[in-house]
Amino acid sequence: MSNLLVSTRSMSMKQIDEFVSRSSAKLGSVPRVVVIDYIQLIKGEGNRYERVSEACEETKRIAKKWNLIAVILS
Protein backbone atom coordinates (compact mmCIF):
# COMPACT_ATOMS: atom_id res chain seq x y z
CA MET A 1 0.00 0.00 0.00
CA SER A 2 1.49 3.35 -0.97
CA ASN A 3 -0.45 5.90 1.09
CA LEU A 4 1.33 9.01 2.25
CA LEU A 5 -0.19 11.68 4.47
CA VAL A 6 1.78 14.89 5.03
CA SER A 7 1.37 17.86 7.32
CA THR A 8 3.49 20.90 6.54
CA ARG A 9 2.72 22.91 9.65
CA SER A 10 4.54 23.00 12.97
CA MET A 11 2.72 20.85 15.54
CA SER A 12 2.82 19.96 19.20
CA MET A 13 3.26 16.32 20.16
CA LYS A 14 -0.41 16.20 21.18
CA GLN A 15 -1.35 17.37 17.68
CA ILE A 16 0.91 14.70 16.15
CA ASP A 17 -0.83 12.05 18.25
CA GLU A 18 -4.22 13.35 17.05
CA PHE A 19 -2.92 13.41 13.44
CA VAL A 20 -1.98 9.72 13.74
CA SER A 21 -5.49 9.00 15.05
CA ARG A 22 -7.15 10.84 12.16
CA SER A 23 -4.78 9.18 9.70
CA SER A 24 -5.80 5.78 11.05
CA ALA A 25 -9.42 6.57 10.28
CA LYS A 26 -8.57 7.88 6.82
CA LEU A 27 -6.29 4.94 5.91
CA GLY A 28 -8.42 2.27 7.53
CA SER A 29 -5.49 1.10 9.66
CA VAL A 30 -2.77 2.57 11.86
CA PRO A 31 0.17 4.04 9.90
CA ARG A 32 3.22 1.79 9.95
CA VAL A 33 5.75 4.62 10.00
CA VAL A 34 5.67 8.22 11.24
CA VAL A 35 8.50 10.58 10.28
CA ILE A 36 9.06 13.80 12.19
CA ASP A 37 11.35 16.03 10.17
CA TYR A 38 13.31 18.73 11.99
CA ILE A 39 12.27 17.96 15.56
CA GLN A 40 13.52 21.36 16.75
CA LEU A 41 10.35 22.91 15.27
CA ILE A 42 8.03 20.90 17.54
CA LYS A 43 5.91 23.26 19.61
CA GLY A 44 6.31 23.06 23.37
CA GLU A 45 7.31 24.75 26.60
CA GLY A 46 10.78 25.64 27.84
CA ASN A 47 14.07 26.14 26.09
CA ARG A 48 15.15 24.31 22.94
CA TYR A 49 16.84 21.45 24.81
CA GLU A 50 13.76 20.84 26.97
CA ARG A 51 11.44 20.89 23.94
CA VAL A 52 13.56 18.42 21.99
CA SER A 53 13.96 16.15 25.02
CA GLU A 54 10.21 16.17 25.69
CA ALA A 55 9.47 15.60 21.98
CA CYS A 56 11.73 12.52 21.96
CA GLU A 57 9.97 11.07 25.01
CA GLU A 58 6.54 11.78 23.54
CA THR A 59 7.55 10.26 20.19
CA LYS A 60 8.50 7.07 22.01
CA ARG A 61 5.14 7.08 23.82
CA ILE A 62 3.23 7.59 20.55
CA ALA A 63 5.19 4.79 18.86
CA LYS A 64 4.31 2.39 21.68
CA LYS A 65 0.67 3.55 21.85
CA TRP A 66 0.04 3.05 18.14
CA ASN A 67 2.56 0.19 17.62
CA LEU A 68 4.35 1.98 14.80
CA ILE A 69 7.87 2.95 13.79
CA ALA A 70 8.76 6.56 14.57
CA VAL A 71 11.67 8.26 12.81
CA ILE A 72 12.97 11.58 14.12
CA LEU A 73 15.14 13.74 11.88
CA SER A 74 17.14 16.73 13.00
Q: Is residue 66 part of a domain?
A: yes
Q: Is residue 19 part of a domain?
A: no
Partners of 35 in beta bridges: 71
Q: Is residue 54 part of a domain?
A: yes
Torsion angle in degrees (nearest 10) through CA of 27, 52, 12, 20: 10
Q: What is the pLDDT along the chain (74 residues), one digit of tens a residue?
A: 456 777 777 888 899 899 899 988 888 888 899 988 888 778 888 888 888 899 899 999 999 999 999 998 88
| Domain count of the fold of the chain | 1
Q: Is residue 35 part of a domain?
A: yes
Q: Is residue 14 part of a domain?
A: no
Q: Is residue 6 part of a domain?
A: no
Q: Is residue 26 part of a domain?
A: no
Determine the structural domain holding residue 38 and report its residue range. Answer: 31-74
9: Cβ–Cβ under 8 A, 6 or more apart, which residues?
A: none
Taking the whole predicted model, whether its pTM rises above 0.85 is answered as no
Q: Is residue 73 part of a domain?
A: yes
